[in-house]
Amino acid sequence: MEKRKLENITNVIVVIGAGSIGQAIARRVSVGKQVVLADLRQENADMAAKILSDAGFKVSTTKVDVSSRASVQALVKTATVLGEISGVIHAAGVSPTQASPETILKVDLYGTALVLEEFGNVIARGGSGVVIASQSGHRLPPLSVEQNALLATTPVEELLNLPMLQPDQVKDSLHAYQLSKRGNSLRVMAEAVRWGKRGARVNAISPGIIITPLANDELNGPRGAGYRRMIDICAAGRAGTPDEVGTVGALLMGSDGAFITGSDLLMDGGVTAAYWFGELAPK
């Protein structure tokens, strides 16, 4: 009888950030499961839900502001009412062109740490999560051992008070973004220890230029020439697609990736390699 009850429990995949990358991963890991699509803008969640529903997925939607603990806690409650949370895809964020340094740190750094903490409290045994970081985190110069530890383990509500994150230290949006994405990778590593105690795994993916609406904002923004140069010079000679990120996400969240946790997989077509050791290296 107990076994039958367990078999009837609904497995829930929570997708935070209803854009192209979140959808691409969800399509590969959510067959037969309940998908909860959460986005800051309800209309974005609704549009993504229609696409997935039309493809045969069972989907519900809700709003979430990842920079608000109360909002993230409400999302956790909404999802746990539906069943056991077996997967979390955190793909929400803002880019350097879209926001101020303060907003980037609040959404991309604090928001990710908050999501990892709250969902790490409820993730099911055997569950997995993936955080979308960025190649930008790999272009930040090395931090000290102490700085790494602070970004990885500082209590979430104290994170933005770190001296290294104050306005006199972080003066532009790109620097804020690079710090946030490096922080995401470090936070995933630290949280993998805690998630592991629940029998769950969590990893990060650091994509390069993936053609999404956010990437198009960058390509058409003030840094567009630099982004196009990255595409032209990198080994792949092109930008990536959400489906390619989806494939990596499926590996990390599925049984084939069962020995991978606390990792950050860089997939950027060779841009970072060219930045440190090739034609994109700073003069």
Catalytic residues: 177, 181
Beta strands in the chain (DSSP E): 11-16, 34-39, 58-63, 84-90, 128-132, 201-207, 264-267
* Cα separation values, 117 from 79, 187, 208, 241, Å: 15, 10, 26, 29
Q: How many CA atoms lie within 13 A of 267 on its CB side?
A: 19
Taking alpha carbons only, the member of 107, 261, 272, 280 closest to residue 183 is 107
Measured in whole angstroms, how far is the alpha carbon of residue 159 from the centre of its chain? 18
